[in-house]
Amino acid sequence: MLQQIRDVLSALQRGPKRLILIAFDLLALFGALWLSFQVRLGGSFSPTTPHLALMALAPLIAIPIFIRLGLYRAVIRYLPERAMWTIIQAVALATVVWVMVLFLAEATRLAIFPRTVPLLYFSFAVMIVAGSRFAAKSLLATPQERQGGTAGVVIYGAGAAGVQLAMALNAHSRSHVAAFIDEDRALQGRDVSGIRVHPPSALAGLIQNRGVREVILSIPSMDAGRRREIIAELSQHAVKIRALPAIADLASGKYLVSQLREIDIDDLLGRSAVPPEPELFRSLLTAQVILVTGAGGSIGSELTRQIVRWQPNRLIVLEANEFALYQIDRQLRSLTSCPVVPVLGSVTDAGLLHRVMREHAVDVIFHAAAHKHVPLVEQNVFEGVRNNVFGTLSLVEAAIAAEVEHFVLISTDKAVRPTSVMGATKRWAELIVRHYGGQGDSSRRRYCAVRFGNVLGSNGSVVPLFREQIAAGGPVTLTDRRMTRYFMSIHEAAELIVQAGALSAGDDIFLLEMGEPVRIVDLAENMVRLAGLTLRDADNPDGDIEIVESGARRGEKLTEELFFDPAQATRTSQPKILRAVLKQDAASELPMALVQLRAALESNDEEKVRERLFALTER
């Protein structure tokens, strides 16, 4: 029986529900006043016509006050305990106004009321109005809601998407929509689908007074720059932030709770996307035999996923990690009918590289295989040099022998004036590609390097580390609060790498436009806030997550650079790809330097290896 009543009431629209509530309050308030007279007069109350008129006036005075104070805007099913204070205020104000009417009635000798009746009326009215609402809340609540409670949600954007989202949340979620926030002044202060619209400045009050724990961005057509600004503002509050997907991802027109996605740090960076140029992809990838080294890594795997969309003749995925190779091979086979050839091996295996290129007649190589973790490579110098330097050399030599036309090295901003072993090895890799790619009959070769900063969420990067530390309750550790880094998404980086390879005329180093550098401490703080948590510091000792500075490690720089000389970079047809204007440098000394570096490596002399490694990069 209770379930049937709950189902009938839940199925009603907001309008009929409000009318039922108003009608109940009219009768309940009149009943509360009648009961007040009965208690005061001992059950012998026989009202006259003026008495009845003044008694009927009490609920008529109260209803507009209840409406003005929002008693009919609240969703009964999600009524917070703080609503009790609003009910007391509303009943008190209605009682005061009614008492003023009584004074006028007594002054005109229309009727006389006992002085204690208004006090009794106030008490009974509060008990009936509040009690009925909390009883209805208990009746309408599901067992799950009674057990775990509900979280208040604010929807940022009171447009069509926000309205549909509010309906879906209220119907199918354990959350309830407490309010809309919208920047449109014409909407502020109005009710949209029975939910009040507030300005952005009201969020702090909503969090404190309405139990709001989550904000959902519901403006799917918003540009990236404005989205970044809004998320930055919201992240100052201790709320979880989610968003509807972009409008292009909502072609069905239905806004469902399941479509909400978590806000990640990429949204906060707010890089404006530049559409890729399809012709560049087509010219480099379609109907080609393509080899991707390091195909199981972050960049390598994203490259393979983008490559198979352009119908290459064959994709060869080379990976030294067996499980990573298994994963990417399985994933690619579910995405495409293009032949995928998994090759388990290292770029340091020259024989394997020659055999693969000879058997498959490779046209294009994307060289993503490298040891990239700065502290680990710093502690494993021999392996870093063997893989990053001589692995690249073996791959370039095999490519030249097989007459591979296109070669794209994935490099790093740490190759510019390197202070780490990893950065120095990547600078050597750039020089190897440039020097050997231009040897002999190089007119058909398009060998280049693509240099960029950190990619968000890549293996070994700070973003997954910070996320893991936050999930564990902290602390979040960083080496130096002054440290800055460039960031972009893996997807964007892979798109630009392919396009840079297509733009190459040979002997090129391309630089991806990375925007402004980001302070790592800001990144950490924003990730804490995006998780709906607070920072623990001197100003807030009771916060959730502390940020701890551990000190810079060997080889780390406070800031990174993309250019040796920013004035020497020129624009390409793709706005986010720059071409470095090259000049004579250490590449001419490379063959002898490689002989010396190999000799130091074979002697197992780490200091000698470091000396030879950095000697070339300093010129």
* Cα–Cα nearest to 493, from 341, 269, 314: 269
Written as six digits, the tokens of 60 are 């008529």
- Phi, psi angles (nearest 5°) of residue 115: -65, -25
> What local confidence, expressed as pLDDT, does residue 249 receive?
47
> What local confidence, expressed as pLDDT, does residue 173 receive?
56
> Residues 383-396: what's their mean pLDDT?
95
> What local confidence, expressed as pLDDT, does residue 332 receive?
93
Read off the pLDDT of residues 562-583 as tens digits, 9 standing for 90 and up.
666 666 677 888 888 888 876 6
Written as six digits, the tokens of 325 are 């190779």
Amino acid at 380: N
Least confident stretch, 170-174, 518-522, 593-597? 170-174
Asked if 169 and 180 count as a contact pair (C-beta separation under 8 A), the reply is no
> What local confidence, expressed as pLDDT, does residue 398 receive?
94
Residue 605's Cβ-count burial label (10 Å; 0-12, 13-18, 19+) is middle
* Cα–Cα nearest to 504, from 366, 297, 309, 300: 366
* Cα–Cα nearest to 39, from 116, 99, 98, 109: 116
Q: Rounded to whole angstroms, how far apart are CA atoms 33 and 116?
A: 11
> What local confidence, expressed as pLDDT, does residue 10 receive?
56
**Residue where the block lists tokens 């009927």:** 56
> Residues 6-21: what's their mean pLDDT?
66
Q: Rounded to whole angstroms, how far apart are CA atoms 432 and 587?
A: 7
Measured CA to CA in angstroms, residue 99 lies from 62, 274, 393 at distances of 12, 68, 94
Neighbours of 311 (CB within 10 A): 14
> What local confidence, expressed as pLDDT, does residue 282 receive?
92
* Strands 289-293 and 364-367, bridge-based pairing: parallel
Q: Rounded to whole angstroms, how far apart are CA atoms 410 and 300?
A: 9
DSSP 247: G
Neighbours of 88 (CB within 10 A): 15
Q: Rounded to whole angstroms, how far apart are CA atoms 75 and 14?
A: 9
Q: Rounded to whole angstroms, how far apart are CA atoms 399 and 405?
A: 8
Asked if 268 and 235 count as a contact pair (C-beta separation under 8 A), the reply is yes
> What local confidence, expressed as pLDDT, does residue 3 receive?
55
- Angle between the 322-335 and 298-307 helix axes, to the nearest 10 degrees? 20
Q: How far is CA 615 from the centre of its chain?
A: 42
Read off the pLDDT of residues 422-461 as tens digits, 9 standing for 90 and up.
999 999 999 999 888 877 666 788 999 998 887 776 666 6
Q: Rounded to whole angstroms, how far apart are CA atoms 256 and 172?
A: 9
> Residues 298-305: what's their mean pLDDT?
92
> Residues 402-413: what's their mean pLDDT?
92
Read off the pLDDT of residues 22-60 as tens digits, 9 standing for 90 and up.
888 888 888 888 888 778 777 666 767 777 788 888 888
Asked whether the CA dihedral 581, 590, 395, 397 is positive or negative, the reply is: positive
The residue that leads in pLDDT, 245 or 382, is 382
Q: Rounded to whole angstroms, how far apart are CA atoms 426 and 429?
A: 5
Amino acid at 513: E
Asked whether the CA dihedral 61, 43, 40, 112 is positive or negative, the reply is: positive
> What local confidence, expressed as pLDDT, does residue 308 receive?
93
DSSP 70: T
Q: Residue 217 is inside which H or E element, if any? A: strand 212-217
Q: Rounded to whole angstroms, how far apart are CA atoms 536 and 224?
A: 30
> Residues 81-96: what's their mean pLDDT?
83
Asked if 434 and 449 count as a contact pair (C-beta separation under 8 A), the reply is yes
**Confidence bin at 9 (pLDDT 50/70/90):** low
Neighbours of 312 (CB within 10 A): 22
What are the DSSP calls for 348-387, one per residue? T-HHHHHHHHHHHT--EEEE------HHHHHH-HHHHHII
Q: Rounded to whole angstroms, how far apart are CA atoms 139 and 15?
A: 20
Which residues does 588 contact at the CB level (< 8 Å), separation at least 6?
435
In 411-496, beta strands by DSSP E:
446-451, 454-456, 476-478, 484-485, 487-489
Asked if 484 and 518 count as a contact pair (C-beta separation under 8 A), the reply is yes
**Residue where the block lists tokens 């979040």:** 476
Length of the chain: 619
* Strands 195-198 and 191-192, bridge-based pairing: antiparallel
Q: Rounded to whole angstroms, how far apart are CA atoms 102 and 377?
A: 87
**Residue where the block lists tokens 């004036």:** 417
Q: Residue 195 is inside which H or E element, if any? A: strand 195-198
Read off the pLDDT of residues 112-149 as tens digits, 9 standing for 90 and up.
777 788 888 888 888 888 888 777 776 665 554 444 45
Measured CA to CA in angstroms, residue 426 lies from 396, 413, 416, 515 at distances of 14, 9, 9, 22
